[in-house]
Amino acid sequence: MARWVAGMATLALAVTACGGTGDDADSPTDGSAKGAPIIIGMDEDSTGPGASYSTIAGKTIRLAVQDINDKGGVLGRPLRLVIENDESDPTKVPAVLQKLHSQGAKALFLQSGSAAVMQAKSTLTQLGLPAIAPTGVTATLVEPPDNELIYMLANTTTDWAEVYCGAFKAANINTLGILTDDTTTIAALNKALLGGMSCVKITATEKGAANASDLSAQVARLKDANPDAVLVTSVGGAFEVLAQNTLAAQLKDKLRFSLASIGNQPSSWKLANPGALEGLIFMGSINQDNPRTKALTELLKKANGPDYEVTAYDAEGWDAVQLLKLAIEKAGGPDDPKKLNEAIQSISGYQASFGQGNFTLSFSATKHLGADGPCGLSLIEFGADNRPKGPWATFQPPCSS
Amino acid sequence: MTDLQLWLSAMEMGCFFGMLALAYHLIYVGAGFFNFAIGPYAMMGGLCTSWLVITYDLGVWPAAAIGVAATIALAAATELGVVRPVQKRGGGELPALVAVAAVLFAIQQFAGYLFGYPTLPGQSLASFAPVPVGDITVQPSSLLLIVVAVLTFVATAAWIRFSRTGRLLRAVGDSNQAAALLGLPVNRIRLIAFVVAGFVAALAGLLFAPKAGVNSLSGLHWSLSGFLAVVVGGTGSVWAPLLGGMLLGLVEVFLPYYFGGQSHVYGMLLIALLFFAFKPQGLFVRKVRA
Amino acid sequence: MTTTISRPTVSSDRWDPRRIPGGGGLALGVAVAALILVWVGSDGYRQTLVISAATYALIALGMYVPYLMAGSLSMAYSAYAGIGGYAVGLISARTGLPLVVAWIAGPIVAALVAVVLGMVTRRLSGFFLAAVTLLFGMAFTAFLIDAESVSGGSGGLGNLRPLNLLGWTPSHYHVVVGSAVVVCVIAFLLDRLRLSPWGVVVRTMRDAPRAVEAAGVRVPVLNIVALALGAMIAAVGGGLFTYAAGSITPDTFTLNIVFLAIFMPLIGGAGTPWGAVAGAVIAVELTLNFPAVQTSGTLLLAVGVLVIMLVAPKGVVGYADKLRTRLWALLRKERDRG
């Protein structure tokens, strides 16, 4: 008996150990860059609840680092990634960041659940390390307290509210029903987003558990409230698809809107019933009219196979690395964290690889959110095959800001 | 309460919870304790199948067969490898409870490691078109879940009532020691209880997965729902778990409908407190034996 | 601070720490803690590891009281640690009181909640209690998200004031040393408690509640006292983590921690509170500081728990103790022969 157990344990250990070494093979090499490596830390949730989205950007961040190293590195020095996993567990975040710091990281990428990133802010201040949260969209991440060192790229919910309002006006929508999940990420997002949408009357707000297996009650309540349109706010994944499946079955003729997550998670499109996503309009950022998006798409298809669906997460991860490269070059080296932080704040007019063609990112001491104006966003409509069909004809955010 | 769609949803949830509760019930009858790893078994059945279909392009039926077989093996391993040695050491129900919590945790972690952490879409075994009923349409996977759940209950009831093993199961469950003294094959019967429970749980997970997908962490929640269902229903009859599941399904659907939002989280806690405190024996009690 | 720690280890021949009940465990625990503190030095990462280990240890010690002493498995400890953490956050953000008050208010509130929950669930045990307390933990998180005016909603509370003890502001290292001291003191006191008459009654209650009841002891009261005590210890841990990390959110203490906290005493050894501490150190080492298996430290931990439960039910401390007894017997034999 004991021997059997010991055997099982050894087997498990062996399997686990293989997994550990397997991951190392993914990490980028120094490429053609010589000189002392510049160490960049990445807190990536690769096994926890945030793994489904943080690994998408994490993969592209690795690719971007490899690309930079192949082209000669930063100031002639290669970038080297050190990666730790916090499993989106806020109690692990301080230790993970400290570990990255003790491995010599000069700047960090935070690729984790938003509760974990929230927890990270105070540790960043303790460490004095600048950090970029490439895929963050919660405005509170870059607001006080402890926001001196943290940066985000994409448009936040404030801009989203503006875009939705434009869309509602164009489609003559006066009342709105909300279907939302119960995660902390979304609770914070709702507060910011819905607070900024004074253009419609919100007649019903229904909440379901993020791991809900049924939302028909919530949708039935929305049906009773009878709004002109429904907006689903969720971190995406199973909840979003269940919501769309249920809405498609019970509220067929209402216009449906969603946040960005459904568009960024191609794997969850398969979860939807046939045709259930048709007509759904989501807040996209990938616009093939943008030449840099096109270039990135080709690169990613070459790396990941021709069927690869490029998402905003990919583009944001890619741009985060490019921005850091720019900042290190501006600061003349990575070693003075204060100078590096100021260098990030001096970046202005960076042409992003997401959003519309002339969308740029700029930072300053008071602007820790890169997006300049709402045209980093684009309203995209799903087709009958449960795949994004293209820009929504009725309304697109104007690019002037 | 006139919305047909809500009743359909409640029935789906009820059938799923009922099957989980049946798995609890079988192990409770056979081994005298609540196996909290039922939820992870169901997760395993659903997740393993989906993973095989997506990763290896396997057909749905062979993948489902492998998924169910893996889950049965897991259930048998739980009994042989963990529960039996721990219970043999004695010390009341606490060591067994902790052991089962460890199994639950380990299965979740292992499944995440093997199959990945993102939610995978459930694979539907049914391929016919959605069926219109009144003004709603019933998805094929929903119909299959309900039909199979009812068949499972019928088959289990018949098995317990008419087969020798089934009758032995009840005899053994009343008192493992007394049964052993009488020379009944206690260990074999207990193992059968675990295997059948594993099969029922895997089936439940497999059939329910198409509704909202399945991921490695679905198990804990399912475990709690199934446990509540078996407590509400009671252990008095094979049909009691189905009743408990249905009641819980109604709560899960109609509580949010009338009170909105997170009310079902508070509602579940309230139901647990009320039932555990005032009617821990459930609605159906076996009256013949104490 | 460091001198007070190492004092008991430099025991003279006349003063034998082994003669005090629980003294041996304390000496060993303090010696290991001192070693760890030396290893930590000024390395920020290692300091954080110690804080995490201390937090896990305090939650595990909190669960130890009702779970291994009284035999009731309450799983609401994520909520109790959360209360301790929110006490620090709320007192810092909403009041002008000295921050130390949080470590008094938090544990008291946690104890009150534990008493109320304990009263409501007093007829439950085993599986029923585990299920209800798990649901309570989930409902508590839902409440923290909903009660935005109290808890700051999903964003949580941050930007804490530094601790100020009569004009002295401890540095981060002082906090690390302090947390190690607190863990040692609590583990020692629990060890004493375990060997005290009360502890013996409580443990008997676990094994034979009827006998204890017949002896005139009110079992439910004892049970509730154990639950309250446990909740207080976990709240201290929650407060410590929140202070060291600088913020708290509704998701800071998850159900994952509760599971880890059940397993820690098993890994370390359930016979003594020091086992819970040892388990916490091992858990932190495996999940946070184990390079080869960084992607699946938790899996390794889960498998480890199963193996330990089957092969070495007394855990690491129990194993070490057996080894020590054998070694001593061997040495004595050698001496006798000589």
The 10s digit of each residue's pLDDT in C174-193 is 888 889 999 999 998 888 88
Q: Where are the alpha helices (DSSP H) in A130-156?
A: none
What is the distance between the alpha carbons of residues B143 and A52, in angstroms, rounded to a whole number? 30
Which residue of B113, B212, B217 is in closest CB contact with A242?
B212
A188 contacts A212 by C-beta, under 8 angstroms: no
In the complex, which subunits touch A with 3 or more CB pairs below 8 angstroms? B, C
Enclosing H/E stretch for A390:
strand A388-391
Q: Give the end-to-end CA distance of chain A in Å, rounded to a whole number.
A: 71
Biggest CA–CA distance in chain C, Å, is: 75
What is the distance between the alpha carbons of residues A301 and A299, in angstroms, rounded to a whole number? 5
Residues in A 250-279 with any Cβ partner in C closer than 8 A: none
Work out the minimum CA distance from C116 to partner chain B, whole angstroms.
Answer: 12
pLDDT in tens, C236-283: 999 999 988 888 888 788 888 888 888 888 888 777 888 889 889 888
Which residue of C45, C153, C298 is in closest CB contact with A98?
C45
Q: What residues have CB less than 8 Å from A155, skipping those under 6 apart?
A: A137, A285, A355, A371, A374, A376, A377
Q: What residues have CB less than 8 Å from C185, skipping those under 6 apart?
A: none
A333 contacts A75 by C-beta, under 8 angstroms: yes
The per-type count for chain C, helices as H runs and strands as E runs, is: 15, 0
Interface membership of A284 toward B (CB under 8 Å): no
Interface membership of C16 toward A (CB under 8 Å): no
Cα–chain-centroid distance for residue B39? 6
Interface membership of A337 toward C (CB under 8 Å): no
In the complex, which subunits touch B with 3 or more CB pairs below 8 angstroms? A, C
Per-residue confidence (pLDDT) for residue B114, from 0 to 100: 87
Per-residue confidence (pLDDT) for residue B288, from 0 to 100: 42
Amino acid (one-letter) located at C313? P
Kindly state the tokens that stand for B136. 């709603």
At C72, phi and psi to the nearest 5? -115, 125
Query: Could you identify the residue written with the tokens 């009310």?
Result: B263
Q: Which residues of C touch A46 (CB under 8 A)?
A: 295
Enclosing H/E stretch for A257:
strand A255-258
In a domain, B162, yes or no: yes
CA atoms within 13 Å, Cβ hemisphere of B114: 17
What is the distance between the alpha carbons of residues B268 and B248, in angstroms, rounded to a whole number? 9
Confidence check on the interface: ipTM exceeds 0.90, yes or no:
no
What is the distance between the alpha carbons of residues A360 and A372, in angstroms, rounded to a whole number? 6
Domain annotation for chain A: domains and CATH numbers: 31-155+292-370 (3.40.50.2300), 157-284+377-391 (3.40.50.2300)
For residue A37, which of A71, A76, A80, A81 has the smallest C-alpha distance? Answer: A80
Distances (CA, A) of C185 to C25, C48, C171, C190, C240: 11, 20, 21, 9, 15
In terms of phi and psi (left: phi > 0; alpha: psi -120 to 50; beta: otherwise), the region of B97 is alpha
**Least confident window among A176-180, A210-214, C316-320:** C316-320
Enclosing H/E stretch for C320:
helix C315-337
Domain count, chain B: 1
In a domain, B179, yes or no: yes
Kindly state the tokens that stand for A50. 């945030």
Kindly state the tokens that stand for C172. 């981060």
Question: What mean pLDDT is predicted for residues B261-280?
Answer: 79
C-beta atoms of C252 and A94 within 8 A: no
C-beta atoms of B260 and A271 within 8 A: no
In a domain, B88, yes or no: yes
Other CB atoms closer than 10 Å to residue C222's CB: what's the count? 19
Kindly state the tokens that stand for A369. 């959110």
Which residue of C67, C296, C309 is in closest CB contact with B86?
C309
- Taking the CA atoms of residue A282, residue A321, residue C298 and residue C182 in that order, the dihedral angle to the nearest 10 degrees is -110
Cα–chain-centroid distance for residue B93? 21
- What band does A155 get if pLDDT is binned at 50, 70 and 90? confident
- Does the pLDDT at position B2 exceed 60? yes
Handedness of CA A33, A35, A38, A44 (dihedral sign): positive
Domain ranges of chain C: 35-254
CA angle (B23 as vertex; B20, B24 as ends), nearest 5: 90
E strands, A182-244, where? 201-208, 229-233
Work out the minimum CA distance from B268 to partner chain C, whole angstroms.
Answer: 7
Kindly state the tokens that stand for C333. 């034999």
pLDDT in tens, B88-109: 877 667 778 888 888 998 898 8
pLDDT in tens, A51-104: 777 888 999 999 999 999 999 999 999 999 999 888 777 778 888 898 899 889
Beta bridge partners of A257: A231, A281
What is the distance between the alpha carbons of residues B225 and B231, in angstroms, rounded to a whole number? 10
C-beta atoms of B85 and A1 within 8 A: yes
Distances (CA, A) of C11 to C7, C185, C331: 7, 18, 21
Q: Which one has a higher pLDDT value, A296 or C203?
A: A296
C-beta atoms of B3 and A220 within 8 A: yes
Residues in A 114-143 with any Cβ partner in C closer than 8 A: 115, 118-119, 121-123, 125-127, 140
A111 contacts A58 by C-beta, under 8 angstroms: yes
Q: Which one has a higher pLDDT value, B46 or B122?
A: B46
**Least confident window among B138-152, B274-288, C98-112:** B274-288
For residue A282, which of A267, A296, A262 has the smallest C-alpha distance? Answer: A262
Q: Where are the alpha helices (DSSP H) in chain B?
A: 4-31, 38-56, 60-77, 84-88, 93-115, 140-162, 164-174, 176-181, 186-212, 218-233, 240-259, 263-278
Tell me the pairing of strands A175-181 and A378-382: unpaired
Q: Which residue of A has its CA nearest to B210?
A: A271
In a domain, B248, yes or no: yes
Interface membership of A98 toward C (CB under 8 Å): yes
Q: In chain C, helix, strand, coil percent, each to 5?
A: 80, 0, 20
What is the distance between the alpha carbons of residues B26 and B198, in angstroms, rounded to a whole number? 10
Q: Where are the alpha helices (DSSP H) in A71-215?
A: 93-102, 114-127, 157-170, 184-195
C-beta atoms of A182 and B9 within 8 A: no
CA atoms within 13 Å, Cβ hemisphere of B128: 9
C160 contacts C95 by C-beta, under 8 angstroms: no
A354 contacts A283 by C-beta, under 8 angstroms: no
- What band does B118 get if pLDDT is binned at 50, 70 and 90? confident
> For an interface test with A, which of B1, B2, B7, B9 has the most A Cβ atoms less than 10 Å from its Cβ?
B9
> For an interface test with A, which of C48, C160, C287 has the most A Cβ atoms less than 10 Å from its Cβ?
C48
pLDDT in tens, A182-234: 776 787 788 888 888 889 999 998 888 777 888 888 999 999 999 999 999 98
Work out the minimum CA distance from C178 to partner chain A, whole angstroms.
Answer: 18
What is the distance between the alpha carbons of residues B151 and B19, in angstroms, rounded to a whole number? 11
Interface membership of C145 toward A (CB under 8 Å): yes
Beta bridge partners of A43: A84, A110
- Does the pLDDT at position B35 exceed 70? yes
pTM of the model: 0.81
Coil, strand or helix at A12: helix
- What band does B274 get if pLDDT is binned at 50, 70 and 90? confident
Mean pLDDT of chain C: 80
Report the b/e string of B205-243 with b at 16+ CB within 10 A: bbbbbbbbbbbbbbbbbbbbbbbbbbbbbbbbbbbbbbb
Other CB atoms closer than 10 Å to residue B47's CB: what's the count? 30
> Using the 8-state DSSP alphabet, how is residue A273 labeled?
P
Tell me the pairing of strands A350-351 and A360-361: antiparallel
Enclosing H/E stretch for A192:
helix A184-195
- Does the pLDDT at position A24 exceed 70? no
C-beta atoms of C139 and B265 within 8 A: yes
Per-residue confidence (pLDDT) for residue C21, from 0 to 100: 64
Cα–chain-centroid distance for residue B218? 13
Kindly state the tokens that stand for C275. 């086992």
For residue C286, which of C274, C268, C272, C311 has the smallest C-alpha distance? Answer: C268
Q: Which CATH number do you get for residue B211? A: 1.10.3470
DSSP assignment of A163-177:
HHHHHHHHTT--EEE
Query: Could you identify the residue written with the tokens 């009725």?
Result: A394
- What band does C74 get if pLDDT is binned at 50, 70 and 90? confident
- Does the pLDDT at position A240 exceed 80? yes
A236 contacts B275 by C-beta, under 8 angstroms: no
- What band does C296 get if pLDDT is binned at 50, 70 and 90? low
What is the distance between the alpha carbons of residues A332 and B59, in angstroms, rounded to a whole number? 57
Domain that holds residue B108: 4-123+137-278
In a domain, B69, yes or no: yes
Kindly state the tokens that stand for A282. 């989501």
